[in-house]
Structures are given as structure tokens and as C-alpha cells.
Amino acid sequence: MLTLPLLIFLGLPSATANGTNRIAILVATTSATLGFRSKKINPFPLSLYLGITALLGALIGARIAVDIDGLLFNKILAIIMIIVVVLMVFKPKYTTEQLVPKTSGKTLIWSMAAFFFIGIYGGFINAGIGFIMMLFLNYVNRMDLVRVNATKVSVALIYTTGALATFALSGNIEWKYGIALASGNAAGAYFASRYSVKKGEGIIKKVMMVMVIAMAIKLWFF
């Protein structure tokens, strides 16, 4: 929610900013997936099934993002940013009691269908998609939050490769910006994670909400 509008404010066309942002997302999801695997949290094969259908959807969503008018995209992004801020304020309640995972049969089929549409959104704009995937995996697939997070990042890694390829083939990536952004994200995440452990997430959320609202206003009006 921060990096995509930032790239737009730096002067990149909306489609190029969207494509460039995918480099950082790919690096982050790869790192997170490897991190979960190092802790023996491997959501395979569910993540593969959901990732494949999300990938198909992401190819469609990314194509829409490439073709849509830049000003219209900016207004859609502004609206989504405000919606995500509201979700952050009224944080969704996740089920934490003892859960029996539902990852096969009809539940798997419905989940794959749902993740196709989630993939379309992820390919199109991606902002706030973590909320959607976490709620779905928790309530529908009845997975605990650790496995929810592991599945979420694995699925995002799979569909992001397709979205990134779509933007790259259409010439909508500034690789220097993307590599700089990915490097900055990696360094910032290291320091921010240590700070959040020390100070808690409250101050980080407040700062982020102010920044997101300010960026949404700028996207809409300027």
C-alpha cells in the first residue's frame, strides 16, 4: 500500500509502477516462504493447488492493470487503500480455537475456485490481499494462523511470478527502481521487525494509517 503509490509519485506510469512493485513482492514472498520452510512449516500441496488457480487469475488481473487508464487505476487504488485502512482499524477476528483443517474434497474445489478470483485481484493491484487470503484460509479451510501465513506467502509467490512476467513482457517494469525497492524493503523489514518487537505494533499501525490516508488523498485529487 505504500510502495505502489510511492512509485507513482516518483513519476512512473501506473502500469509501470504496478509492474515494478512486483519485484519487491517477489523477493519478500520468496524470503518468507523459505523462512517458513526452515521452521518445517510447509503447506504443500494445498499451497500448490491454490497457487496454480491464483496464478491463472493473476495473469488476467495483470493484463487488466496493463490496459486500464492510469487515472482510473489511481482512483481505484485510492479507494482500496482507504478500505484497507478501515480493515486495519476494525481488525478482523481470526478463529484461534483448536481447528481441524479442511484441505480436500469439496472444500478444496471451492477454495481453488475462490483463489482464482483472489488471483485476479492480486494480479491487478495486490494491495491488502493478505487480509482476504488469511480470512478465507482461516474460516473456510480451518487452518491455524501459522499455516495460514505460510500458505498465504507461498500462494502469493506463485501468482506473483505470473503477474511479474505479464508486466515484464508488456514493457512495464523499471528494473533499477524495482531492485532498489526490493533492497530497501529487505533492509527496512529487518530494522522494523526488531523495532516492532521492542515497541509493539501500535505505533507502526498509526504511522502507516496516516501515510496511507495522505497517499490516497494525493492519488485521488492530485
Domain residue extents for the chain = 3-221
Q: What is the pLDDT of residues 9-42, one digit of tens each?
A: 888 999 999 999 999 999 888 888 888 887 777 7
Taking residues 188-192, report their average pLDDT: 66
Is residue 45 reached through a cis peptide bond, with omega within 30 degrees of 0 on the bond before it? yes
- Asked if residues 89 and 212 have their Cβ atoms less than 8 Å apart, the reply is no
Please give the C-alpha separations between residue 172 and each of 55, 127, 164, in angstroms, as whole numbers: 19, 18, 9
Give me the chain's average pLDDT, please: 85
Residues constituting the chain: 222
What dihedral do alpha carbons 141, 145, 146, 148 form, nearest 10°?
40
74 has a pLDDT exceeding 60: yes
Q: What is the pLDDT of residues 121-164, one digit of tens each?
A: 999 998 888 888 988 888 888 888 788 888 998 999 999 999 99
Helical packing angle, 175-199 and 202-221, nearest 10°: 140
pLDDT band at 189 (very low <50, low <70, confident <90, very high): low
Taking residues 69-98, report their average pLDDT: 81
pTM reported for the whole predicted model: 0.84
pLDDT confidence of residue 196: 52
Rounded Cα gap, residues 80 and 102, in angstroms: 30
The share of the chain scoring above pLDDT 70, in percent, equals 89
**Cell numbers 496516516: residue:** 210
Taking residues 99-105, report their average pLDDT: 81
Rounded Cα gap, residues 124 and 60, in angstroms: 8
